[in-house]
Structure 1
Amino acid sequence: MKDDTALQAVWTPWTALQERPRLLLVDDEPANLQLLKRVLEPLYTLSFARHGMQALEMAKRLQPALIVLDVMMPGMTGHEVIVQLKADAATASIPVLFCTALGDEEDEARGLDLGAVDYVTKPISPAVLKARIRTHLALVQRQELERTRQAVIWRLGRAAEFKDNETGRHVIRMSKFCRLIAQALGAPPVFCDLIEAAAPMHDIGKIGIPDRILLKPGKLDEDEWAVMRTHPLIGAQILGKR
């Protein structure tokens, strides 16, 4: 199951690049939805919801790239909608942009505190709305690509471990220990993140060592040790920029 999840993480960003991002637009006023449609339809695939319960159902089913959400709606306000979105693991990561006539600083602060990525007031400026949406979709894509990169690193690390029957847990433990050591030495958070991400690749050079040497049950002779010592060089060649 974990492997399937990671493979999906690799595949999802690629498939996402093949079609226009889907936006879910939520507003109880048809005129507002028509305006949003005119502004955004040339750029995105659009879905529409007229009330909070419908928005929650569609968000879970469609998994839109971003939700444009009104605040003042009958039955369930936009604030109540975003609380439920963030409480559900299936929709918690979907970015929400409030688009509302509530323009006070307190209203904006509350919306952002509830988890919205942005806050746009009505009447909308088409240029501003499109720019805000474009910015947040770019951030989402960057995060997806980062998850893809990390998934590839983990798999290469696992490939090296399979050469000598180590388990994937070894890769995880070693990465966590590297981070803890870096933190104990006072390294900045960015470096700690990098060392944890890169550590699974520490034994990638084992891929190039023949099994007759790597898996030999007895001691290695001098010639075999000479081959084994090429392990770091092979790793550098695999990971190098050339």
Structure 2
Amino acid sequence: MIQWSSKSLNSTEQNIIGSNCLNTVNSISSNQALGLQNLEGYSLGLSKEDLLLEQKQVEPSWIKPDTGSGYDSLISGTPQGKGSQVNGFDSGLPKVLVVDDHTASRMTAVALLSMEGYEVIEADCGSKAVELVTQKQPDLILLDVMMPGMDGFEVCQLLKQEEHTRLIPVIFITALNDRRSRIRGIEVGADDFLTKPFDRVELAARVKSLVRQKCLNEDLDHTEKVLFSVARAIESRDPNTGDHCERLVKLGQAFGEYLNLSRHQIRDLMWGGYLHDIGKVGIPDAVLLKHGKLTPEDWEIMKQHVVIGEKICQPLRSMRGVVPIIRHHHERWDGSGYPDGLKGDDIPYLAQVFQIIDIYDALTSERPYKRALTFEEALQIMLEETLLGWRNPKLMQQFAEFIGFYQEKE
């Protein structure tokens, strides 16, 4: 069973890296350097040269752009002054949370990451790590597997289930060739693995890559939130529809599960509940909010909302499964629908599924020009339309069977 929660628009936005204003970062502090001297007996796979730190400022590797990097192309090449913003977010040192109950291992990771220019936070147990994640919102977590109390698997699983922490990359620290831990880590949502002793170059590369990926994912997440916000604003312009979108999301999830659709298909169906009419943002108020019957010219304008909605959502890869719903939810089984006049199974399956729940909700909801029909009355009308050739007969029969169970549950 998929648990759905609407994405909040006021969640804490994370800092995005890559600003030129971070020209230099101080080398590791004297306390950290002393800590490294005390770790000479601990096998790290590092040369003595790696551990000798000169008293000067160094440029961290994560601000050195890679040639041809798609991520770097998202960031303006204009020099940024101190306190400037990148992509609308305050620039700053990326934060890495190191979680390990073994002091020597934790100090080693802290020292190496500090040398690379990261702000490092430490935790010596799982419960403290969860508390620091909530308080500090790190950009990445370096997490030991074996810890007393709450182990690394529990921490990772908890964070990946939460809306506000699911995008934070987690790198598990495992023993060499610990196959069982790696498999378990994948199951709870780990993003990568590192083995002890640390290799400095590998650690820097993996952390840098995942911090960049997190920034890209957050950009995508913010874009999706904007789209949902626009869709809700459009719905609010028409007071007659009430909570139409919310009802479609709920009904879409339930019907999708009844049809044994995949998790991604159910998600697309639910997102379609919010976004199917987003193209109405481009329809003039004179047509969209017109009282009375629309003229043939008005209808031609109104039909464009599906094409406009497709253009709005098409650039986002995460919307690939939703775009066919947006464009084709007004097609008909006999080819008499719009915008493309598709027939039968040429109509995308999720668009067929969504159309049925959309029509059902419209029939069973009260509008100024009609009363709310009972579910039996709505089904009768929809079955009559199916006989006219407007709906997929098999899918309509499945919906009729489903809605009886659904109404009893409600």
Query: TM-score if structure 1 supplies the norm length?
Result: 0.69
Q: Does 1:215 align with 2:289?
A: yes
Distance 1:166 1:62, change over 3 A: farther
- Structure 2: segments with no counterpart, 5+ residues: 16-86, 313-410
CA distance in 2, matches of 1:30, 1:15: 38
Q: Does 1:232 align with 2:303?
A: yes
SS in 2 for 1:6: coil
What percent of counterpart residues are identical? 29
> 1:108 maps to which residue?
182
SS in 2 for 1:134: helix
CA distance in 1, matches of 2:163, 2:230: 29
Report if aligned partners of 1:25, 1:69 keep a CA contact under 8 Å in 2.
Answer: yes
Could you tell me how far 1:180 is from its partner in structure 2? 8.6
SS in 2 for 1:159: helix
> 1:70 maps to which residue?
144
Could you tell me how far 1:198 is from its partner in structure 2? 5.3
Could you tell me how far 1:47 is from its partner in structure 2? 0.7
Could you tell me how far 1:70 is from its partner in structure 2? 2.5
Report if aligned partners of 2:98, 2:120 keep a CA contact under 8 Å in 1.
Answer: yes
> 1:134 maps to which residue?
208
Report if aligned partners of 1:9, 1:147 keep a CA contact under 8 Å in 2.
Answer: no
Could you tell me how far 1:173 is from its partner in structure 2? 4.1
Could you tell me how far 1:140 is from its partner in structure 2? 3.3
> 1:48 maps to which residue?
122
Distance 1:146 1:120, change over 3 A: same
CA distance in 2, matches of 1:87, 1:31: 26
Could you tell me how far 1:152 is from its partner in structure 2? 2.0
SS in 2 for 1:129: helix
SS in 2 for 1:229: helix
Could you tell me how far 1:124 is from its partner in structure 2? 1.1
> 1:151 maps to which residue?
225
Matched AA of 1:233? Q
Report if aligned partners of 2:277, 2:309 keep a CA contact under 8 Å in 1.
Answer: no
Q: Does 1:162 align with 2:236?
A: yes
Could you tell me how far 1:231 is from its partner in structure 2? 2.4
CA distance in 2, matches of 1:169, 1:20: 43
Report if aligned partners of 1:10, 1:151 keep a CA contact under 8 Å in 2.
Answer: no
Q: Report 1 or 2 for greater relative contact order, CA contacts < 8 Å, sequence distance ≥ 6.
A: 1
Single out whichever of 39-48 and 137-146 deviates more from structure 2: 137-146
- Structure 1 or 2, whichever has the larger Rg, is 2
Q: Which structure has greater helix proportion?
A: 1
Single out whichever of 184-193 and 10-19 deviates more from structure 2: 184-193
> 1:39 maps to which residue?
112
CA distance in 2, matches of 1:171, 1:104: 47
Could you tell me how far 1:228 is from its partner in structure 2? 4.2
> 2:10 maps to which residue?
8
Deviations 1:80-107 (A, max 9, x none): 2441553474886344322244543234
Query: TM-score if structure 2 supplies the norm length?
Result: 0.45
Could you tell me how far 1:112 is from its partner in structure 2? 3.9
Report if aligned partners of 1:99, 1:120 keep a CA contact under 8 Å in 2.
Answer: yes
Distance 1:193 1:135, change over 3 A: farther
Single out whichever of 37-46 and 81-90 deviates more from structure 2: 81-90
CA distance in 1, matches of 2:156, 2:164: 5
SS in 2 for 1:7: coil
Q: Does 1:123 align with 2:193?
A: no
CA distance in 2, matches of 1:203, 1:132: 41
> 1:83 maps to which residue?
154
Report if aligned partners of 1:82, 1:114 keep a CA contact under 8 Å in 2.
Answer: yes
CA distance in 2, matches of 1:233, 1:214: 11
Deviations 1:118-175 (A, max 9, x none): 3211111122222332343344334333332322222222232233224573224446
Matched AA of 1:8? N
Report if aligned partners of 1:205, 1:231 keep a CA contact under 8 Å in 2.
Answer: no
Distance 1:124 1:91, change over 3 A: farther
**Aligned alpha-carbon RMSD (Å):** 4.2
Q: Does 1:24 align with 2:26?
A: no
Matched AA of 1:6? S
Single out whichever of 187-196 and 95-104 deviates more from structure 2: 187-196
Deviations 1:155-204 (A, max 9, x none): 22223223322457322444677789999999987677556545644434
